[in-house]
Amino acid sequence: MKLPFYQVDVFTSELFGGNPLAVFLDADDVDDATMQKIAREMNLSETTFVQAASDPHVAHRVRIFTPGQELPFAGHPTIGTAAVLHRLGKVTGDAFTFEMNVGPIAVTREEATFWMTPPPAEPVGGAFDRAAIASALGLPTSAVVSPPQVFGGRGVSFLCVQIDNAANVDWIMFERAALIAATGEDVGAGDVLVLSYLAGVAYSRMFPAIASGILEDPATGSSIAPLCSALAQWRAIDQSRTTLKVEQGTQMGRQSFLHARFEVQHTSVQNVTVGGSVVPVFESTLAL
């Protein structure tokens, strides 16, 4: 069996920026264990496998794997896979839907930018102690400016921690064991989004769940709805704010820019869409 695949950089307009993604086509006959082995071999934040959809109204089924596990949904794989399929003529028009483990995910194209509609996000559980979270991040308590809390839904959630400035976001010395002690195993071993925010621009870093098999992610589209939900809950944004720009990956040398559109209603957000551009890098074939 030969599988064509395409590697792209997502959430960037610069070659070798953003978050790399490998997209494997014609993967209907590839079993789950082999997909996981391929993702481990590619050793990127995520690798996608495009299959025939079970629903005739859906363009394709898309499976998403990190080096350590399959995900129900992820943002940069959705945007990157959409760009590859559109460039190859395997999706038609500027609006289509992917079948993912989390459910149907709508995608649209506006010139060079692809937009997706992620699962909605809301607060999950109560807030955690600022001092304990700050200590796990190697920062003084005063640097944590909002109550750390989990935001998400439908199997996609992040512990969101707002820091006072971008310099302190870069300064983080992350200790996973200390975070688990502060929050419990379920939260502390999961995805952690640390961010600063000012006037419509967020600067973030994302430390993926232990099971993912990666230490830090250069661009995390699935974090944007939780991030917007967190900012609304913390009253950092109000009804006048409808867009957000997020810079991520800079400290890793993979600067990425993610864009969000949304509506704020009191302390919640609705109708979030996440957009970004994609740069082709190379294409090849894997022989199985």
Q: What is the pLDDT of residues 261-279, one digit of tens each?
A: 999 998 999 999 999 999 9
The pLDDT of residue 272 is 98
How many CA atoms are closer than 13 Å to the CA of 164, on its beta-carbon side? 10
Other beta carbons within 10 angstroms of residue 87's beta carbon come to: 13
Instruction: Tell me the C-alpha distance between 286 and 228, whole Å.
Output: 39
The pLDDT of residue 86 is 97
Where does the chain have alpha helices with state H? Answer: 32-42, 75-87, 130-136, 166-171, 176-183, 185-188, 224-233
User: Amino acid identity, residue 169?
Assistant: V
Burial class (CB in 10 A: 0-12, 13-18, 19+), 138: middle
Summarize the confidence of residues 115-126 as an average pLDDT.
97
How many CA atoms are closer than 13 Å to the CA of 51, on its beta-carbon side? 19
pLDDT band at 120 (very low <50, low <70, confident <90, very high): very high
Instruction: Work out the percent of the chain whose per-residue pLDDT is above 90.
Output: 98
Tell which phi-psi region holds residue 93, choosing left (phi > 0), alpha (psi between -120 and 50) or beta.
left
Residues 194 and 185: beta-carbon distance below 8 Å: no
- CATH 3.10.310.10 domain span(s) along the chain: 2-117+277-287, 122-276
Summarize the confidence of residues 83-107 as an average pLDDT.
97
Q: Which residues are catalytic?
A: 46
The pLDDT of residue 153 is 93
Where does 30-112 have alpha helices with state H? Answer: 32-42, 75-87
Give me the chain's average pLDDT, please.
97
CATH 1.10.1040.10 fits 122-276, yes or no: no
Per-residue model confidence as pLDDT tens digits over 161-185: 999 999 999 999 999 999 999 999 9
Instruction: Tell me the C-alpha distance between 28 and 34, whole Å.
Output: 12
pLDDT band at 206 (very low <50, low <70, confident <90, very high): very high
Q: At the topology level of CATH, where does 2-117+277-287 sit?
A: Diaminopimelate Epimerase; Chain A, domain 1 (3.10.310)
The pLDDT of residue 210 is 98
pLDDT band at 92 (very low <50, low <70, confident <90, very high): confident
pLDDT band at 156 (very low <50, low <70, confident <90, very high): very high
Summarize the confidence of residues 71-75 as an average pLDDT.
98
pLDDT band at 2 (very low <50, low <70, confident <90, very high): very high
Per-residue model confidence as pLDDT tens digits over 141-153: 999 999 999 999 9
Beta-bridged to residue 123, according to DSSP, are: 151
Summarize the confidence of residues 52-71 as an average pLDDT.
96
Beta-bridged to residue 98, according to DSSP, are: 60, 105
